[in-house]
Structure 1
Amino acid sequence: MSLVRRIARPMLAAMFVVGGLDQLKHPGAKAKAARPVLDQASKVGLPDDPELLVRANGVAMVGGGALLASGHVPRIASTVLAGTLVPTTLAAHAFWNESDPQKRAQQKVQFLKNLGLLGGLLLAAVDTDGRPSLAYRARRAGESAQRTVHMTKREARHAARAARREARLKAAQAQNALP
């Protein structure tokens, strides 16, 4: 792992670990703010307990943040964190609902900060750490399999021709051996 990744991943993950712990310890205030977004959650089959959903989001943030910071499955961890950031941002920083210009500006800054974090998470989610991506490796494996099939067929054709030649030679030798 490069030095930049070793430093940047924990820096990106720190906010999620701290925010997730806060959601686990104090879900009440977050659940109240998240109520408009959580009302939509019941439509997709999630429980109707706002504090439970806030705590679950906190667990995902702490777990994903810890995995990203430690460099274990960083692409999956980044994707999980991006998934937690979207409802959190919509619930906590809906600047378009604020009427007070000062609060609206403050919420807009927080919204844009989270948007920047989402961009960083998306970059981390596609970062292959210098190794080829899974799609590239799968494509190469498919090409290798196709080459193997092609080579096997070619070798089988050569072996069949050689067997036919050998059979003709043996037949000719047997015919010459007859009186």
Structure 2
Amino acid sequence: MSVVVLIGRILFALLFILSSFGHFAQSEGMAAYATAKGVPAAKAAVVGSGVLALVAGLMVLLGIWADLGCLLILVFLIPTTFMMHTFWQESDPQVKQSEMINFNKNIALMGAALALFAFFAHERHLGLMITGPLFTLH
């Protein structure tokens, strides 16, 4: 089971780790898009959310308080989903569809982050982790 959990952690965490690099390498373009979406202090929000995604992704990947890493991913996803993927405000059908797909993907990722949080906080003997969980669920 430990290897299966490790593979799952890698696949889940890679999305956030790789997307964080875009936050740093393309911060100007992402900040302009965030500004257009009404995000206050867009440049700081882009860089800050990139740091959050990177740290949280690495925590899950490496198994360093992976339960906390999952909660941090949730903290990253909630504002991103509801501020950046506002499909209900779009009138162009293609843009609306694209935003709806990203919104729904993020909702599913929120569910996965919560489920993984509960799993990591409950299961004590996962192996292949640097630390145990920070939280305890029974």
TM-score range, shorter chain: 0.7 to 0.9
Q: Which of 113, 135, 157 is matched with 2:105 structurally?
A: 113
2:75 pairs with 1:73 = no
Structure 1: gaps (5+ residues): 40-48, 137-179
Matches within 5 A, 1:28-107: 28-35=28-35, 36-39=37-40, 49-107=41-99
- Structure 1 segments of 4+ aligned residues over 4 angstroms from their partners: none
Specify which structure has the higher proportion of helix: 1
Helix, strand or coil at the partner of 2:54: helix
Deviation string 1:20-69 (CA, Å, 9 cap, x unpaired) is 11001211222223234533xxxxxxxxx321221011011011101111
What's the % identity of the aligned pairs? 26
Helix, strand or coil at the partner of 1:72: coil
Alpha-carbon distance between aligned partners in 2 of 1:88 and 1:30, rounded to the nearest angstrom: 12
**Does the Cα contact within 8 Å between 2:13 and 2:57 map onto a contact in 1?**
yes
- What letter corresponds to residue 97 of structure 1 in structure 2? Q
Alpha-carbon distance between aligned partners in 1 of 2:5 and 2:51, rounded to the nearest angstrom: 24
CA shift, 1:135, in A, is 5.2
**Structure with the larger RCO, 1 or 2 (CA within 8 Å, 6+ apart):** 2
Q: How many residues align?
A: 127
2:9 pairs with 1:9 = yes
Tell me the equivalent position of 1:130. 123
Alpha-carbon distance between aligned partners in 2 of 1:55 and 1:130, rounded to the nearest angstrom: 33
Tell me the equivalent position of 1:23. 23
Alpha-carbon distance between aligned partners in 1 of 2:83 and 2:33, rounded to the nearest angstrom: 6
Structure 2: gaps (5+ residues): 126-134
TM-score (norm 1): 0.64
Deviation string 1:49-104 (CA, Å, 9 cap, x unpaired) is 32122101101101110111111110000111110111222232111111011221
Alpha-carbon distance between aligned partners in 2 of 1:91 and 1:134, rounded to the nearest angstrom: 32
Q: Which has the larger radius of gyration?
A: 1
CA shift, 1:119, in A, is 0.7
Alpha-carbon distance between aligned partners in 2 of 1:82 and 1:90, rounded to the nearest angstrom: 12
